[in-house]
Structure 1
Amino acid sequence: MELARLLLVAVWVLAAADVVPAAAQIDDTGCTRMCGDVDVPYPFGLEPPPCSIDNGTFHLNCTSVGGVQKLYSGTLEVTKISAPYSKTWVKTRMSWQCFDQSTNQTIYGDWWLSLSHTHVLSADDNKVIVLGCNSLAYMLSDTYTIGCLSKCDDIVPKVNSSCTGTDGCCQVNYLPRGVRYYRGFFNSLYNTTNHTWNKTPCNYVTVIERAAFNSSTTYLTLTAPFDDRDEHTAPVVMEWAIRRGTTCQEAKTDKNTSYACVSNNSYCATNDAGYVCRCSDGYQGNPYVVDGCTDIDECIENLAYPCNGTAICKNTPGSFTCSCPRGESMSDGGVCMKKHRSIWMALVLGASTGLVILVMAIACAYLIQERRKLHCIKQKYFQQHGGLLLFQEMRSQQGVSFKIFSEEELQQATGNFAEKEVIGHGGHGKVYKGVLKSGTEVAVKRCMTIDEQQKKEFGKEMLILSQVNHRNIVKLLGCCLEVEVPMLVYEFISNGTLFHLLHGNHSRHIPLDTRLRIACESAEALAYLHSCASPPILHGDVKSTNILLNGDLTTKVSDFGASILAPSDESQFVTLVQGTYGYLDPEYMLTCQLTDKSDVYSFGVVLLELLTRKVAFNLKGPENEKSLSMVFLNAMKENKLEDILDDEIKNNIENVEFIEEIAELARQCLEMCGVNRPSMKEVADKLDRLRKVLQHPWAHKDPEELNSLLGESFSVNSGSLVSTGNFSITKKVAKGLETRR
């Protein structure tokens, strides 16, 4: 298929349809099961229940387009449905940007896709591609931003390239699991020269089925968006489930809904979308239909289920047997042999016994060899990740509380990494709760990938991170190096995240002093990483979900094990854009270079969450209200800060001056230019001073006692506040506090 551009403007709203083609096939229940050449198996249907399952997302529409019957789910054309594998194939289009030479302007096709609650994109069958010369594009999903940079070694690249990133095409070969929404975006810094636009006027980005993609350069020279013909669409594979977020046990015991696995010889399973049904081994068909799972006749499919030699195959329910003709017997190897006299039987028996002994000896030798091979592989991984260097350094540095765990220890601690032990999903892997043999509760981070440079430096970085010791930073207890991708072991924090405290489904009151303490402790932790660690450590993913809370709401900054050590080479760049949308430093998006001021920007967004109790990025909000930082900066500019503040704190008159101070600090952190932002040390100092003043009202303190509270940076003289250090409280707060005296 020639892949041209355009993704579809499709919202996955699966609408019902009453129009059924007269030529469509009807099953024995009177339901239509074909639309054109596409089979429509139950639980899907073209008519309401009982022809489809009692769920609006499985009700499809068969419509005539140009005299051809086509199947639609909402506005998406469906080309194939698999009930046994719970997958659906649909046609989509790509997001695009093209340069119109007649108007000397760039035009865009910014398309997006939102799936129903029972459908997700298949992480195993799809990938992200970017097409065009000097095109930096990315796909925004529910919680991820994934993309790549496509360049051209030549002005007009070669036809049928391999999509390596330098031939007009780049690709990201994995998708996060459970994605129900995505949208394509382009970085305007790239492909801005007329020379490039004249040769390759268009760029594209989309999610596409892996098996259907073949790189071609035809799309690069087009001057306008494609039309709506089928050959210009891109196939995408989706996984579906009967009900999202429901376990098999819940599905079987729920009295309000019918259990969908109604066929004999079927069972319940789960995929990324929810609970589904499967036919048992030895059976095939549709598990959602009574008697839909039928026995596989293995004797007909002899190539897949062979009986050796002259053996006779007999089909049995769910299996098959092999027997010998009259006058022959089955040998230990499963081959039919003619019966001979007793002398020959003795010889055969002796030979068989010897063969069994030989096979057992070979099997034992094989198992020993495999164990040795596995040991060598573990040793190889251990050395690749710098384990020997780390072990030597640990022996030379007495008192280092850091342990190198074996894979077996972590498997036992987490129940062999059981799904029920998963307590978090990160951009690079999963986090499991575990209990060591000593009874210590831990959090085990199991990453998905690691690049070659990280492999070489991993042991060295672990030694540095193991020495991080701060009361507000989650302690890194150890790591496992004998696996392909190293695993990290942290102390377990029991009371959830700051995100859950602020945005969880509860009505818990959070006073200003508690919010200020959480902000102050988080800032102190980041300032420690930036200023006190040697070498300095950049967190790289500061957000409310990475700020954990223990039982008394003491702050613990987490995920610093995935931090980036501050690079000594300032020219080091990152070409793959990936991070948490809403917290990303805009300067990093432009330069692809992470600095300590990137952490300052992200912390500024966390301050806004504490003040407003709103999420950092709201996908469902209006276009100009999606980003919390943009809403805040506009409110500050228009002097309407109180419109976005949390009612719990803004209605307290005593909080006004402190809120304005915190808001001003957040504005400084959100400066577009990094050099204009304060350092984390300066942010922590100011939050600490504001906290001290809030804890000790001026109405009950004399000037001498206030001086002792604020330290050397302030002094109270003749009833007024005077700054004697490098940082001072604004005149407005000073005046307000003076009035309260």
Structure 2
Amino acid sequence: MQLLQLPFLLFLHFLLLKPASPTTTDLTHLCPTSCGNISIPYPFGLGESRCFRPGFNLTCDLSFQPPRLFLGDGSVEVIDISLIHGTVTINTKVLSFLSSNFNESWTGLLPDGPFTISSKNRFTAIGCGVLARVLFYETDTLISLCASVCVARDFTPGHDDTCAGIGCCQTSIPVGLTTFDVHLESLNETTYSFGEFNKVFVVDKDWFDDNGDVRQKLLSPLYSKHPWDSTVSTEIPALLDWWLGNGSNGTGGLSCEMAKKNTSEFACRSMNSWCYDSANGNGYRCNCSDGYQGNPYVNNGCQDIDECQQPEVYKCDGTCSNEVGTYKCYSNDPHKYPGLIITIGVTTGLGLLILLLGAFLLTRKLKARRDKMQRDKFFKQNKGLLLQHLISSSKDVAERMKIYSLEELKKATSNFDKSRIVGQGGHGIVYKGILSDQRVAAIKKPQEIIQREIEQFINEVAILSQLNHRNVVKLFGCCLETEVPLLVYEFISNGTLSSHLHAGNQQSLSWDDRLRIALEIARALSYLHSAASISIFHRDIKSANVLLDDGLTAKLSDFGASRSVPVDQTAVSTAIQGTYGYLDPEYYYSGRLTEKSDVYSFGVILVELLTREKPTSSSKSQDGESLIPHFISLIKDNRFIEILDPQVVEEARKEELVEVVELGEMCLRLKRDERPTMKQVEMKLEALRGSKKHIIHTWSCKRLDESRSLNMSMSIEGSSSGDMTRQFSLEKDMMLSVSFSR
């Protein structure tokens, strides 16, 4: 692939005026409060330094009609200022670039100024065959990336014109940045590349989502024969966050508590205001207290509001009375007929007690009935009848799997008590439970009601119910009586492979254990691909999905993203799904899932076992490369020993390391046709393990011979046995060398 790398520093350029000490007096009518149709609230201001806090000076350019407002000395136009949200809306340029000669650069926001790029923006790239990487300024460390492709000149984007990767892509911006780099590369998989229509900009996400007409105008040159419409606005709104005490006065990163110690500098001036800190330590902001509105940055700026004048916001069914900072709602006076009320109360008291008791009993009965109807509804909704048929139709499945009731699982987990939680992540909570047959189980309870989660659950049950392998986690059963179904697995007590490798301890798994674990993972994947009743592509192989039991035996888990494939097919087109760092690049760009996608992910795990580095880590690369590119480049230079875990170098034989490193390199090849199958990988690792055991056995026999003075006949028998073992290993090595392309 020929890469066209176009580095540039993205966003905006402006210079701030020299800071001055903030005023401690009230603002007066001498300070301008607007420019054109834009209001200017303190701490922002025009003119003299007493009219604004340091770093918040603005410029009103009267040469425009109407006048326009700019930050600092007038380099960036301001559209709006929000005190409540702590943002400034600015106009940012839409940049056009050709695929061969684009090179633009801007200086970023001042690092000690009050402004940072808001995470509510989205970096957006429009074009055909564009891969955009967002990098930290001057370090080239990857933050995020997106890719935009077009399959033909007359292609049409998505029906809703969203930036989902066809003609347009978007990626997020982290909190607290003042500037960043962007590298653009062309993708040679794209049939057409229309460089003259490529656009790059940063935009307020909410504004971009709400303005479909602008999106259509930006995208239309890509899928029509019309040239670029020069009337389309090249200025698009983006957001800046601003904070007080973030370094503009030389003190830097002040929290509310720190700022309050210097009362003359503290920005929250109004008595009825409060202070809150930035989430990333950039400083603090102020807001009016509940029941008040206005400007918290000036004396008496937060004024009481009359809640009774806003009945649509502050509800009151009786008589509303405004009070300072709040309001009260009084019911209409019921004491007009006191005698009647007392009479009614006395005569109906006993009847009410009887009615309440009857209502309580009836409510309990109705609740029990409603709960049963709800459980039956969820059981059908979660394909319970289908799973019942699946279990009953196979004796083998019925012996391994059971459909549990919700009551059984509540009892097993002490009603899902917090003390039973053994794991928690983005997809849900895992509880440890004791089933009625005394088996220890891991019960997975999703946290959110998402249709995709339910579909993945059903997919996982359907796949795991057909599998029976010692290196695949066993599914005891499921519960279908909740809105989001529950899965019941065997309990694996020793955590994940990822936690063992990346725990930070000086010593980790031994080399022998790592080699065995790699073999066990390969056995599980080889079984899924070629030995199960139907071929199964896991699609999310990673060290966090490999569990280890007390004996450190590997168990492959999490089949929610897996796909089953008919025997006569070798690939399937599907939406891209997986984990960054483990994802097969060819699958990512083509959308074609094959068994070789799992092989690539296995290769990443193999490199993790060799290096104890995470796939996204760049700590050992001077160029900021992540683990896999750095590993491949070291292999090409024959310097792979530099990245290996010192414990591995110490414990492993050189020949073993070379074999495993070469095996990892073959699994990680960009072209899937050049990768081995998991069966070949399994055979290779089996051969390595067999060779290792043979060497240990031969050494033991030699020591035994020296100590016990074996007779000649026993020596001959031992020699024959060893030769047979070696011959078997050599035959395997020959088979593998023929099968693998070097």
TM-score bracket relative to the smaller structure: 0.5 to 0.7
1:430 equivalent among 427, 431, 440 = 427
**Contact 2:109/2:115 (CA < 8 Å) preserved in 1?**
no
- Does the residue aligned with 1:556 lie in a helix, a strand or coil? strand
**Contact 1:582/1:616 (CA < 8 Å) preserved in 2?**
yes
Could you say which residue in structure 1 is the equivalent of 2:580? Answer: 581
Matches within 5 A, 1:167-246: 188-189=187-188, 192-193=191-192, 197=194, 201-202=197-198, 208-213=204-209, 214-216=211-213, 217-220=216-219, 232-235=235-238
Distance of aligned partners of 1:649 and 1:84 in 2 relative to their CA distance in 1, 3 Å threshold: same
**Contact 2:534/2:566 (CA < 8 Å) preserved in 1?**
no
When normalised by structure 2's length, the TM-score is 0.66
Distance of aligned partners of 1:176 and 1:19 in 2 relative to their CA distance in 1, 3 Å threshold: closer
- Does the residue aligned with 2:427 lie in a helix, a strand or coil? strand
- Does the residue aligned with 2:727 lie in a helix, a strand or coil? strand
**Contact 1:414/1:432 (CA < 8 Å) preserved in 2?**
no
**Contact 2:8/2:106 (CA < 8 Å) preserved in 1?**
yes
Q: Which moved more, 1:82-91 or 1:212-221?
A: 82-91
Query: 1:17 offset after TM fit, Å?
Result: 6.6
Between the aligned partners of 2:420 and 2:32, the Cα distance in structure 1 is 39
**Contact 2:96/2:198 (CA < 8 Å) preserved in 1?**
yes
Between the aligned partners of 1:218 and 1:343, the Cα distance in structure 2 is 72
Q: Is 1:667 the counterpart of 2:665 in the alignment?
A: yes
Between the aligned partners of 1:33 and 1:403, the Cα distance in structure 2 is 72
**Contact 1:543/1:603 (CA < 8 Å) preserved in 2?**
yes
Could you say which residue in structure 2 is the equivalent of 1:386? Answer: 383
Between the aligned partners of 1:226 and 1:653, the Cα distance in structure 2 is 66
Query: 1:544 offset after TM fit, Å?
Result: 2.5
1:687 equivalent among 672, 685, 688 = 685
For 1:313, the aligned partner's letter is S
Distance of aligned partners of 1:422 and 1:673 in 2 relative to their CA distance in 1, 3 Å threshold: same
Q: Tell me, which stretches of 5 or more residues in structure 1 are unaligned?
A: 1-5, 43-50, 53-58, 100-104, 244-251, 332-338, 731-741
User: How high is the sequence identity, in percent, across the aligned residues?
Assistant: 29
Matches within 5 A, 1:237-636: 297-308=306-317, 311-315=319-323, 318-322=326-330, 324=332, 329-330=333-334, 339=336, 379-396=376-393, 397=395, 398-404=398-404, 406=406, 409=409, 413=413, 423=423, 425=425, 429-436=426-433, 438=435, 440=440, 442=442, 444=444, 446=446, 459=458, 462-482=461-481, 486-551=485-550, 553-566=552-565, 570=569, 574=573, 576-618=575-617, 626-636=625-635
Aligned alpha-carbon RMSD (Å)? 6.7
Between the aligned partners of 1:594 and 1:669, the Cα distance in structure 2 is 15
- Does the residue aligned with 2:444 lie in a helix, a strand or coil? strand
Between the aligned partners of 1:60 and 1:271, the Cα distance in structure 2 is 21
For 2:430, the aligned partner's letter is K
Between the aligned partners of 1:207 and 1:407, the Cα distance in structure 2 is 51
Query: 1:423 offset after TM fit, Å?
Result: 3.9
Query: 1:465 offset after TM fit, Å?
Result: 0.8
Q: Which moved more, 1:508-517 or 1:149-158?
A: 149-158
- Does the residue aligned with 1:630 lie in a helix, a strand or coil? helix
**Contact 2:121/2:205 (CA < 8 Å) preserved in 1?**
yes
Could you say which residue in structure 1 is the equivalent of 2:3? Answer: none
- Does the residue aligned with 1:233 lie in a helix, a strand or coil? strand
- Does the residue aligned with 1:723 lie in a helix, a strand or coil? helix
Query: 1:663 offset after TM fit, Å?
Result: 0.9
For 1:505, the aligned partner's letter is G
**Contact 1:11/1:113 (CA < 8 Å) preserved in 2?**
yes
Q: Residues 122-147 of structure 1, C-alpha deviation per residue, up to 9 Å, x if partnerless?
A: 99x67787755x66868879898777
Q: Tell me, which stretches of 5 or more residues in structure 2 are unaligned?
A: 1-5, 44-51, 63-67, 136-141, 247-254, 703-715
Length, aligned pairs only: 671
- Does the residue aligned with 2:472 lie in a helix, a strand or coil? coil
Could you say which residue in structure 1 is the equivalent of 2:707? Answer: none
**Contact 1:12/1:114 (CA < 8 Å) preserved in 2?**
yes
Query: 1:90 offset after TM fit, Å?
Result: 7.2
Between the aligned partners of 1:707 and 1:91, the Cα distance in structure 2 is 83
Q: Residues 298-336 of structure 1, C-alpha deviation per residue, up to 9 Å, x if partnerless?
A: 334333224446x35253765523254xxxx249xxxxx
- Does the residue aligned with 1:603 lie in a helix, a strand or coil? helix
When normalised by structure 1's length, the TM-score is 0.66
- Does the residue aligned with 2:592 lie in a helix, a strand or coil? coil
Q: Which has the larger radius of gyration?
A: 2
Between the aligned partners of 1:640 and 1:571, the Cα distance in structure 2 is 36
Could you say which residue in structure 2 is the equivalent of 1:45? Answer: none
Query: 1:622 offset after TM fit, Å?
Result: 6.7
**Contact 2:121/2:238 (CA < 8 Å) preserved in 1?**
no
Distance of aligned partners of 1:362 and 1:566 in 2 relative to their CA distance in 1, 3 Å threshold: same
Query: 1:665 offset after TM fit, Å?
Result: 1.0
Could you say which residue in structure 2 is the equivalent of 1:656? Answer: 654
- Does the residue aligned with 1:634 lie in a helix, a strand or coil? helix
